[in-house]
Structure 1
């Protein structure tokens, strides 16, 4: 009857207790008085009961089972929080972005992310993390600990979660679908990057030329081009590439591999993306419009070249007479004049 009456309130955080001894144990936590030590891992606790619960975790005792999914927990409180997840209850809302959480601790960590708080630092490389758990996983990378191995191809991972995603790839499971074009992805993160492309999000800008990219990896490859880092050479013609994907597409041309055929005119292409751009020409789709004169283009680089014309930018210069041109093709036509080559009519 009187179990719910909590007259003993903590002066520090305001939490109330029905018994004085409960408040005392709680105050020990604030004072960081931890006299009860775990013999297995050395972790200390403010009360014997907390130590007992901790020891249950080492022993794998999980008496609190979820009636919905069957997952078991050592602590009843963890089960309650888990049930909130099933019910979709998210009482802890972020005041900055409005995202909701079912646990106060999750909201706190999320708020730290907004504030840029990274208290958990790696002593090896100096990288900082929001959560201790993330740091522990990161340390496994330094230690080379990859205990989760794929039975199909033998690839190993530091986290079980990453192995599960990898197995989805083998199984062809793609649960994350783009709401705009219908393309499906294995990873939620890949869908996000794909959606950013639809939205035109380009947060990674080149400090040299100003070109912006959706992915940081794309920017790095682009910077390699500026730095002249070309590590991949074509065995047939000797052409150099900064990225394996570009070399692969180039090699298809040598092999005359054109698997992507246009149903309208029969023209074939080495990649699906090239075919898509070609189909836009047939459809008359021109999404890239000039703000100055209104002329539209089906490719971004076509608009860029057109804007250079408005700006009078002529980057392609003749080494013989010094005359400059907006496009490389115009320069090549000009060089034929110097060489005495006339177009056959």
Structure 2
């Protein structure tokens, strides 16, 4: 009778979704537990529900009896067509009880509810990382295999996800839709904005176990760890020299090409990197910030101090 009255007394203890029948709740719990007892005889794929396996078998035989009147796309299941039609009409039938967000299909709604519950059922076989969505797992696997199917038509840079390519294209077009609510600075992607926010808050949650240095961004922390571990994945195609960071390789390539983009505003002298330019500018100001710990002699450039330190140590050993 609960089906007729619409009363749903059977609630999932994990995500809060409610059902009119105990059987419906039981089938739903299989999604959370990951139990899949129904296996396809053709491809070996397993499913949590028998009727889902039946629909899957239709895919193998190519039966698509449900066609969209708007765009002509055909589906194996009637309810798949129904969800597809919602895309054309803009109808979102499934509303989240926690935040009010609406979804066009129960699958999208379920994924959204898993986000609230912190459930990540898709695990990577290589590194063990768990992800919420099957599609996200597929993108993650591409990083292990080095698959980058999305290529920028302007600069040729390749990406493993279309959304990342889209953010990259915004950089070329100089489109900056993501604005910082603190200082008003805009960025091409939400990821870059979130990194920027850390500069205001000063939050550094990634700490190096070796030297104790802290970082705001996981990416910067990973690059720092590569220095300790001696990992040099960025190699020069010309001389074979390896670098821990891509930016280091980029600066190194300028030594081969002779490109000097960093120009001194005082004398016009050009350099291959910002570091060399900064050291040069100090010579104009005669700022001597680099002091010897042995004799306290000061130098304008760190490289000059390093050469001096070698000579100074040798002198001390002779005494």
What residue is the counterpart of 1:226 in the other structure?
A: 256
Checking the alignment, whether the CA contact within 8 Å between 1:262 and 1:275 is kept in structure 2 is no
Match of 1:81 in 2: 114
The answer to whether structure 1 residue 156 and structure 2 residue 183 are counterparts is: no
Q: Whose Rg is larger? A: 1
Identify the residue that residue 124 of structure 2 maps to in structure 1: 93
Say whether 1:131 aligns with 2:161.
yes
1:27 aligns with 2:58: yes
Q: Which residue of 1 aligns with 2:278?
A: 248
Structure 1 gaps of 5+ residues are 285-345
Q: Distance in 1 between matches of 2:181 and 2:23?
A: 58
Instruction: State which of 95, 100, 114 in structure 2 corresponds to 1:63.
Output: 95
Aligned equivalents of 2:146 and 2:139: distance in 1? 10
Q: Deviations over 1:229-279 (max 9, x none)?
A: 2243445566431122321222113212234656775444557x779979x
Q: For the aligned residues, what is the CA RMSD?
A: 4.5
SS in 2 for 1:197: helix
State the shift of 1:163 in Å: 1.4
Distance 2:191 2:72 in 1: 27
Contact 2:37 / 2:47 at 8 angstroms: preserved in 1? no
1:180 to 193, 199, 210: 210
Conserved in 1, the CA contact under 8 Å of 2:195 and 2:216? Answer: yes
Check the 8 A contact 1:9/1:23 in 2, yes or no: no
Match of 1:145 among 175, 178, 192: 175
Is 2:115 aligned against 1:116?
A: no
- TM-score with structure 2 length normalisation? 0.63
Q: Which runs of 5+ in 2 are unaligned?
A: 1-21, 28-35, 314-319
* Alignment correspondent of 2:19: none
Measured against aligned partners, the alpha-carbon deviations of 1:76-99 in whole angstroms (never above 9, x if no partner) come to: 311343256x36x555232x3444
In structure 2, relative to structure 1, the CA distance for the partners of 1:54 and 1:196 (3 Å cut) is same
Separation in structure 2 between the aligned mates of residue 7 and residue 234 of structure 1, nearest angstrom: 70
Aligned to 1:288: none
What are the Cα deviations for residues 20-64 of structure 1, in whole angstroms up to 9, with x where unaligned?
Answer: 9x9459836984957347x8xx796743442366479x5677722
In the alignment, which residue of structure 2 is the partner of 1:105?
135
Taking structure 1 as reference, are residues 43 and 215 closer, same or farther at Cα in structure 2, changes over 3 Å only? farther
Give, in whole Å, the separation in 1 of the partners of 2:226 and 2:178. Answer: 31
TM-score (norm 1): 0.59
Alpha-carbon separation, structure 2, partners of 1:222 and 1:50: 53
1:183 and 1:275 map into 2 onto residues whose CA distance is 27
Distance 1:150 1:26 in 2: 50
Q: Which has the higher contact order (CA 8 A, sep 6+)?
A: 2
Looking at structure 1, the residues matched to 216 and 96 of structure 2 have their Cα atoms a distance apart, in angstroms, of 32
SS of 1:106 mapped into structure 2: helix
Name the stretch that deviates more: 185-194 or 97-106. Answer: 97-106
